[in-house]
A and B are shown apart, each in its own frame.
Chain A
Amino acid sequence: MTTFSMTATPLNAACTCLLADGRLLTITASRRLRANRADVKCTVPGAPAVSAQMQQVVRLARHTEARLDSRDQVVLSMDIAPDPGQREWELAAVLADRMVRGLRPIPVGAPPMAQGWSDRWHLGQASEATVDGVAIGHLGALDGHADLASAVSSVRAWFPLHSGGINDALAWVEVSVFAIEAGTHDDAGEEETITAPELDLAAQQDVRQALAGARHFDGHGLGRWRTVVRFGQPRFQGGSYQLALVMADRLARGREFVPRGRLIATGTSRAWHAGMVESVEGREPKLALISTMTAPGDRVLLPADWEASLPPGFAARLRERGASVACIDRIGMI
């Protein structure tokens, strides 16, 4: 289950990986008292070299974690042995190791499927990596964080997408900014530097206007950036993604405090140049979705109008899961 607390971390976790030759590999991680044994132990039937490599990968990836806990030993095992040259199981091993120690939530239902390898695990960067079909460039991208070593700062934020009950889901919007020379575009040309290649023209125009307006409100980000906006699910209607979009843009430009987990926001505005946040439709299903999908460290931002009508115990339930919620009427500092 995805509940998180210091004392009740799971004892087992699994992560699957689809190898290039079509076989499905499952990496199972279990946790036990370390008792002066090695911190990571790996077993692969019939392939000791692969298990040694897996131990090295997991140890290198642990360098990117903020918390050191030397009490537990994690035992990782593969059900089938990959070929010696195959490396795409590496990301699955890293994720299983993190899930079993409670650093990443374990999804309800089927274990996640991850492919990816890296020569820079100690920096948290991964190559050709996908988790459940979503491409990531480094481990922090699972929480939408920017890569601290990359020249392109790209940040994801999530927003609830209401599509009739059973298909409700959290969708993400990614803002990538790249620095350009100041003065290349004047202030009026800010919208020209923003592209959203997957959207139709009307939606592109909305995205451009929202971002340019929010940057006017910020007063510092004009004419400095080339921006690309991508959506995990480009076919939607309505403007409730705009708060997530604007917050992702502020995070990508290094001008907002960074949440420990994901940022989940819903809200729109007709006056982003004034920093106002307005209410959106679909309150009940979106709140229900948010309260089931939050993970430890997540930050939930809702329009201020919703504050009075939040279901009782909503904030407490999120706090129990390690997340926090705020109802805001404008963006910016306090």
Chain B
Amino acid sequence: MGWFSLRGKPSANTGAIADLGVGMVALRLDAGDVAPPGTVVVMFGASGQARRLAPGKVASSPGDTVFCFHPGPYTVDLAPFAAAPEWGLRVRLLIDAPNPHAEQQRFDLFLYAEHHEQGGQLSLADLGAALQTALQGELAQGALDLPPCTTLEEWHAFRAGFNQLLYTRYGLTVDDCVPVDLGGQVDFADVLRARALAASVAADDAMQAALALHTMSALPPTGVPDAPPTEPTLQPLSPAVSQSDPQAAPHSGSQPISKPISRPTKQPIAQSTAPTALSATADAASQTATQPAFHSTPPATEPEPRLQPEPPTQPPPKQPDAHTHQDAASLRRLFVELPVLSRHLRLLVLPEGPAIFQAHQLLLLRLDMASLNVDTMPSLAWAAPDQPLGAADQARRTAATAIAVAALDEAWSLLARLHLAVSEEWTALLHEADRVCANLETGLALRRAPYVPRQEPEL
């Protein structure tokens, strides 16, 4: 809970609060901060229930999270195609009054699920970048269409899809959206020149790397199992895990209890395999647990010199630490958003027909199973109660969570398309939903597996 530490410094947010409505869309407030007039305060209870309050001095009880946002309007310029940076859309957005029919406002959920971390601040630039990424992804997949020389009908269809996407995915209302020439802000010639410069600077390195790759590629390293964790990589991992787990556990709500249990159970095993490790710290015990045969021979004084050379190897833990944070944030998103998504999907009005009804029911069932899968997801850093996981396997697990989160994003945009779909399009969209569910399940299954799953033997 990072915001406890900010309590003693009520002035930490003043600069950002003054910027609300201009360069800052929303930020998390601490108790004692004053939300300026014209903004909206959203208070999340410990259970995640949100309620909107009038602006003023924030008085929150422990366990509450308070966000404050300015309803806008904001103007952002988006480039819908990465290859055409000079041709863009100027979008005016606002965060609307709450929809009285909805149990939870989508924008509140967006704040709670995606901006809990990283200081809780959502700047306009960050929001614009997120919107641009979402728009480019939709256009690349063909969910939205914005072809060259757009006709008026195509433009209207695009606008409808884009408005619905932003409302369903982010809870934002598009007030106005016009194509605009961004030539004054971005110069594509400069972009190309920068690429040429970067290429010429890196030319030698690239040539070296290409030569190395070319010689190596005759023996591709596919199928080679991950190298067993060596001591220098395993050793820094344990402190990183122990300091990041207390943060991750309350946020994600899905960390199992195997981690606290594993601490006590580790000591007896370390004793039985290597009595010399008795005097060592818990970190050294995790070493001996993985490589008992290596440690059984040295004399009793061995653990002390072995611990000495460790400080130089401390910098590497940054990488696993970043993995831990990313994985926890992704799991938190899945945990918070999947039930809401499936509630929205349940509320859709279906076209007539048993086939679509059954497909819809199956979709809801699969989403519920995925939600259950997220709720019971094992800890990132442990393969089993007594076996810490190597950094490579942790990275692989984090990548698998990223697959699941990408599927979650696609599911939200699919929901937006289902809102607009006429009955003929439902079959194709439910087929798309099948793909999204399969990706979600694949990502979660890979995240759950501690090691690379066994695949069918190659012939």
Contact = CB atoms under 8 A, between A and B. Distances in A.
Interface of A: 5-7, 36-38, 41, 43, 48-49, 51-53, 55-56, 66-71, 84-85, 87, 119, 145-146, 148-153, 177-179, 182, 220, 224-225, 247, 250-251, 253-260, 263, 297, 299, 301, 324, 326, 328, 331-334
Contact of B148 (A49, A52, A87, A301): A301
Contacts of B142: 260, 297
Contacts of A299: 147-148
Interface stretch (B37-45, B58-66, B216-224, B370-378): B216-224
B189 A301 contact: no
Given A7-B428, A67-B141, A257-B147, A179 B87 contact: no
Contacts of B80: 257
A7 B85 CA distance: 34
A326 B435 contact: no
Contact of B137 (A49, A66, A71, A151): A66
B151 interface: yes
30 contacts: A36-B453, A38-B455, A49-B219, A49-B220, A52-B458, A66-B141, A68-B439, A71-B438, A148-B83, A151-B199, A152-B192, A178-B192, A220-B183, A254-B83, A254-B85, A255-B183, A255-B188, A257-B146, A258-B83, A259-B147, A259-B148, A260-B142, A301-B148, A324-B145, A324-B147, A326-B149, A326-B151, A326-B154, A333-B150, A334-B150
Contacts of A55: 222
A107 B352 CA distance: 38
A203 B406 CA distance: 50
A145 B139 CA distance: 15
A56 B438 contact: no
Q: Which of B139, B183, B213 has the most CB of A within 10 A?
A: B183
B38 to A, nearest CB: 35
B195 A260 contact: no
Q: Which 7 A-B pairs have the closest CB atoms?
A: A151-B196, A254-B188, A66-B140, A179-B189, A70-B442, A151-B195, A258-B81
A37 B454 CA distance: 9
A119 B213 CA distance: 7
B263 interface: no
B438 A224 contact: no
B51 to A, nearest CB: 37
A249 to B, nearest CB: 12
Nearest to B446: A70
A70 B438 contact: yes
Interface residues of B, number: 62
Interface string B435-459: 1001100100100000001011011
Contacts of B82: 148
A119 B214 contact: yes
Given A67-B141, A257-B87, A260-B140, 14 more contacts: A5-B428, A52-B458, A53-B217, A66-B141, A151-B193, A151-B199, A177-B192, A178-B196, A220-B183, A247-B149, A258-B84, A326-B150, A334-B151, A334-B152
B83 A68 contact: no
Contacts of B98: none
B458 A51 contact: yes
B125 interface: no
Given A119-B217, A220-B86, A68 B406 contact: yes
Contacts of B391: none
A37 B455 contact: yes
A257 B196 contact: no
Contacts of A247: 148-149
